[in-house]
């Protein structure tokens, strides 16, 4: 992809809507119904946009939702793209670049993850302070697009630590089960093995999942202020003596819908003010 290819994607969106978002939000597995809290101006399916891969995960609607959360202009990804769907890291992160070109200078990434830290429980939340992405090819591999950012990207503060601290304290005040920790991304689609979780714990990870870190690399590459919230949908392999299923992930997300809405709402308002 060249920069001009991204501009063609922007032009296609502008044929449908001239909406300019301030904050982009990626909704993870089981979390897509947050869009019900938005005053919707327009929706665009991924398949309507040239050079944008189409989401194949049945739990993801595969569309952008443009509208207002209260009076804050936002764009939601109701379903993200994953490398396990057959996309490379650059392809899976094209929507992040597109949302930035449409006007968003801040982004909130959300995901449903497996808890590695034994202090966590299903239904808890983890504000991502840092990530480990060594299991994933970088989305910046190949020719650098200078219009987006530098060839060699600094990643020493990828998740706006100051904003994280504000959200963490506010979440605690609201009696939400919130933690701060390190996220690790692996490719999937298979769930992890016990040995992999032992390795991840040794590396310093508190939770694991199949997305997000590569999106944060791309958002940082473009200078977007970035925040990420993980929903602990299950404990990772070997933490509990039980099998992991996608149905468990969806069920836990449905049970925690109200709390997720509350925390993400706080995050949007804090991000807007800071």
pLDDT in tens, 24-71: 999 988 888 899 999 999 999 999 999 999 888 776 688 999 999 999
* Average pLDDT score over residue span 208-224: 98
What mean pLDDT, rounded, does the chain reach? Answer: 95
Say if residues 99 and 21 touch (Cβ distance below 8 Å). yes
Beta strands in 79-195 (DSSP E): 106-115, 125-132, 178-185
Query: Can you tell me the distance from the alpha carbon of 135 to that of 199, in angstroms, rounded to the nearest whole number?
Result: 12
pLDDT in tens, 104-144: 999 999 999 999 999 999 999 999 999 999 999 999 999 99
Say if residues 29 and 60 touch (Cβ distance below 8 Å). yes
Share of the chain above pLDDT 90, in %: 87
pLDDT of residue 254: 87
Asked if the model's pLDDT at residue 230 lies above 90, the reply is yes
Share of the chain above pLDDT 70, in %: 99
Pick from 193, 72, 185: which is nearest to 137 by CA? 185
pLDDT of residue 242: 84
Could you give the domains of the chain?
3-273 (3.40.50.1580)
Pick from 138, 135, 124, 97: which is nearest to 9 by CA? 97
pLDDT of residue 60: 64
* Average pLDDT score over residue span 212-240: 96
Asked if the model's pLDDT at residue 77 lies above 90, the reply is yes
Query: Can you tell me the distance from the alpha carbon of 22 to that of 73, in angstroms, rounded to the nearest whole number?
Result: 5
Pick from 104, 105, 148: which is nearest to 2 by CA? 148
Cα separation of the two ends of the chain: 33
């Amino acid at each position: 992809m060249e920069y001009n290819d991204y501009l063609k994607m922007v032009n296609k969106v502008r044929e449908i809507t001239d909406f300019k978002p301030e904050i982009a939000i990626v909704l993870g597995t089981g979390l897509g119904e947050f869009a019900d809290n938005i005053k919707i101006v327009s929706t665009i399916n991924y398949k309507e946009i040239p050079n944008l891969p189409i989401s194949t995960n049945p739990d993801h609607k595969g569309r952008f939702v443009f509208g207002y959360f209260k009076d804050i202009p936002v764009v939601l990804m109701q379903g993200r793209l994953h490398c396990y769907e057959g996309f490379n890291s650059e392809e899976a992160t094209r929507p992040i670049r597109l949302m930035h070109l449409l006007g968003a200078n801040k982004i909130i990434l959300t995901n449903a993850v497996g808890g590695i830290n034994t202090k966590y429980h299903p239904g808890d939340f983890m504000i991502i302070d840092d990530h480990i992405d060594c299991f994933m090819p970088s989305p910046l591999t190949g020719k650098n697009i200078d219009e987006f950012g530098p060839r060699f990207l600094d990643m020493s503060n990828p998740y706006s630590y100051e904003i994280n601290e504000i959200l963490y304290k506010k979440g605690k005040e609201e009696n939400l089960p919130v933690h701060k920790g390190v996220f690790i991304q692996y490719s999937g689609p298979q769930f992890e093995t016990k040995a992999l979780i032992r390795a991840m714990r040794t590396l310093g990870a508190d939770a694991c999942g199949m997305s997000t870190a590569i999106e944060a690399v791309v958002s940082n590459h473009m200078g977007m202020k970035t925040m990420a919230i993980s929903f602990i949908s299950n404990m990772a392999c070997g933490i509990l003596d039980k099998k992991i299923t996608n149905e468990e992930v969806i069920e836990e997300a449905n049970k925690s819908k109200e709390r997720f809405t509350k925390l993400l709402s706080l995050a949007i308002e804090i991000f807007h003010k800071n």
